[in-house]
Amino acid sequence: MRAAVLHGVGKIQLEERPRPEPGPREVLVRVASVGTCGSDVHYYEHGRIGDFVVDSPLVLGHEPSGTVVVTGPGVSRHRVGQRVSVEPGVPDFTCRQCRAGRYNLCPRMRFFGTPPIDGAFCEYVVTHEEFAYPVPDTLSDDAAALIEPLSVGVWACRKARVEPGTRVLVTGAGPVGLLCMQTALAFGATDVLITDVNPVRLGVARDLGASETLDVRETPLSDAGFEPDVLLECSGHPAAIGEAVRAVGRAGRVVLIGMGGDEIPLPLSHVQTRELEVTGTFRYAGTWPAAIALAAAGRVQLDALVTGHYGLADVEQALTAGARDPKLVKAVVRPQE
């Protein structure tokens, strides 16, 4: 099979590799679509994210969809020909976190496109049958791939306890921010304000149902007069985080989703006097069924986020598209092209 392989900062080569074979309770998936993510771009540009360092050739990509083409011994949940969305992390199933239902925190998680585990910018991937989820034919291959970032939104809204009547502030109108916004609305939030500095992305947010949008280059958040119950912080920008936390009302919830610097200044007095809950999120756990249901019911629009398609030979172009095109929202790689 063909694979786009990262060999160092800014160096991706198209290579021929052996097609993987599924083991017990594993399935081989012919990859149809793979969304590109900011973490893929970061590995390409810097060769590391925090403690995860690319020190050997690595296939990036962790947002895949495709079709089951081979089933391994003992597989009972899938048939050949089944279209699936692939959850890209397989835990060890046995550690303390897994047994508590927090498998996203498994210390031995094998996650696609995270050193040293190869990802999905290739023609075929193998995964455990429990992490390949059937999707209805009403969902496109691209939408099935974007169940992964949608799951980030579902997990964040669950952590924030978004429910009917909740007022939500989303900072950052990138793909994850736009999906958090849509998920909050699907969960029943009545007012959802989303902020950014990119007017094109704010326009997309309005098209997707945002109650309000705010270009913070023109109007500071502090002047908007919006006091949310929940902050879904998707920008990762330290200054934006501090300003957004100050806007949250009493007994509000702050969920930190965007990955920016290792440390941020926190307005501690505001957090304490208003008794805010502040938490981080790391990926997701048990979100795929809900995310697929939301997308299939039309409660969340996924295809509308896709602004470019690239073949497997053009992965570098996909990863650098955002730097060239301010109108880009989500680039998708189609490995069979």
Per-residue pLDDT of 230-255, as tens digits, reads: 999 999 999 899 999 999 999 999 99
Per-residue pLDDT, 19: 98
Confidence bin at 259 (pLDDT 50/70/90): confident
What crossing angle do the helices spanning 175-186 and 147-160 adopt, rounded to 10°?
A: 60
Pull the structure tokens for residue 137.
Answer: 């034919």
Cα distance between residue 77 and residue 249, in whole Å: 46
Specify the residue for token string 């109007």: 219
Cα distance between residue 257 and residue 318, in whole Å: 23
pLDDT > 80? residue 262: no
Give the helix ranges, DSSP H, for 18-112.
Answer: 38-46, 96-99
**CB-neighbour burial class of residue 57 (10 A; exposed 0-12, middle 13-18, buried 19+):** middle
Closest by CA to 317, choosing from 293, 299, 333, is: 333
Neighbours of 5 (CB within 10 A): 19
pLDDT > 80? residue 260: no
Per-residue pLDDT, 334: 98
Q: pTM above the 0.95 mark?
A: yes
Give the model confidence (pLDDT) of 146-170 as tens digits.
Answer: 999 999 999 999 999 999 999 999 9
Cα distance between residue 233 and residue 38, in whole Å: 15
Cα distance between residue 201 and residue 326, in whole Å: 9
pLDDT > 80? residue 292: yes
Confidence bin at 50 (pLDDT 50/70/90): confident
- Amino acid identity, residue 203? G
Average pLDDT over the chain reads: 97
Contact 149, 179 (CB under 8 A): yes
Helix (H) or strand (E) holding 215: strand 212-215
Per-residue pLDDT, 168: 98
Confidence bin at 63 (pLDDT 50/70/90): very high
Average pLDDT over residues 198-206: 97
